[in-house]
Amino acid sequence: MGVAAMAAPLLAFAQASDTWTNAPHRWQLNMGEGVTAQSMNAYSAHMLALWICVAIGILVFGAMAVAMFKFRHSKGAVPDKDFTHSTKLEVVWTVVPIVLLVLMAFPATSKLIKMYDTRESQMTVKVTGYQWMWKYEYLGEGVSLTSRLDRKSDEIRQSGVDARTANKANYLLDVDNALVLPVDTKVRFVITADDVIHAWWVPALGWKQDAIPGIVNEAWTSVNKPGVYRGQCAELCGKDHGFMPIVVRVLPKAEYTAWLNEQKAKNAPATPAAPAAPAETTPVEPAPAEAAPAAASAATGAAAAVAG
Ligand SMILES: [Cu+2]
């Protein structure tokens, strides 16, 4: 009984922390690989640079060690007092770094170009940062939701108790409404803000993007593994900057469609702009693929109007 009683909270904690896929773990030294092509590109670029740095480190510190131990005064080394410079060495230590930088620039540039290629996306989500929450709009679907710090975390942080004793899994990293996305789908994001600059950042996706009032930034993702991914606002945006986490729930495609239909049903009576009839029987509504850029440019206009 006693063992079971002791194990129960542990089990609950284990289950709760399971709902963070690809979470960082204690004593993790390297950056995470993430769950998108972009995050894996970033990881491989990082590893290439890391191993080049390791090789340079070994060479430079090795040469220093040899110089210090082999040519020391006690072994009878005599300093060359007339030495000023060595043209040969200067050429070598200029050319070698240039070659290395060029070698690293090729993969980095091609990966960056892919990172910003939002063409052929299958759906678009507009992300708006507010002090202090996020709004997600599924463009062309008539579905939108606001996402803010879960009430339990908020209660604990305002109560003044030591949060470590509160036994709240994912403290300050949970939200009331998560952004829900389908797996293996190219999702384009248009990112802006309503008041001050925020930044939308989920490490497992491999990028962060500034959310700036009056400007619409673009990004995209295609998550290859269903799960719950967590992130943060990454731009100091006011007193509650640390309290506007991001949660992305990635679902298998069928489950996502079911979720989206549920949201449409929920939103339909409340949103005057949404069509009263089901989407498939309204010929006036443009196809989502065409609607997305149109809605995005409308969003640009609206955001510009706010800034102006
Ligand atoms: Cu923010």
* Ligand 1 center from residue 133 Cα (angstroms): 7
The span from the CA of 144 to the CA of 266, in Å, is 11
Query: What structural domains and CATH numbers belong to the chain?
Result: 37-115 (1.10.287.90), 123-274+287-307 (2.60.40.420)
* Ligand 1 center from residue 300 Cα (angstroms): 20
Q: What tens digit of pLDDT does each residue of 230-264 get?
A: 999 999 999 999 999 999 999 999 999 999 999 99
Write down the pTM of the prediction.
0.74
* Ligand 1 center from residue 238 Cα (angstroms): 7
CA distances from 255 to 48, 180, 230, 261 (A): 38, 10, 20, 10
Q: What tens digit of pLDDT does each residue of 154-203 get?
A: 999 999 888 888 888 889 999 999 999 999 999 999 999 999 999 999 99
* Ligand 1 center from residue 215 Cα (angstroms): 15
Contact, 244 vs 121, CB < 8 A?
Answer: no
* Ligand 1 center from residue 6 Cα (angstroms): 39
Q: What tens digit of pLDDT does each residue of 258-271 get?
A: 999 999 998 766 55
The span from the CA of 116 to the CA of 232, in Å, is 21
* Ligand 1 center from residue 178 Cα (angstroms): 16
* Ligand 1 center from residue 202 Cα (angstroms): 13
Is the bond preceding residue 220 a cis peptide, omega within 30 degrees? Answer: no
* Ligand 1 center from residue 126 Cα (angstroms): 16
The sheet carrying 179-182 orders its strands as 179-182, 246-251, 227-233, 198-202, 207-211
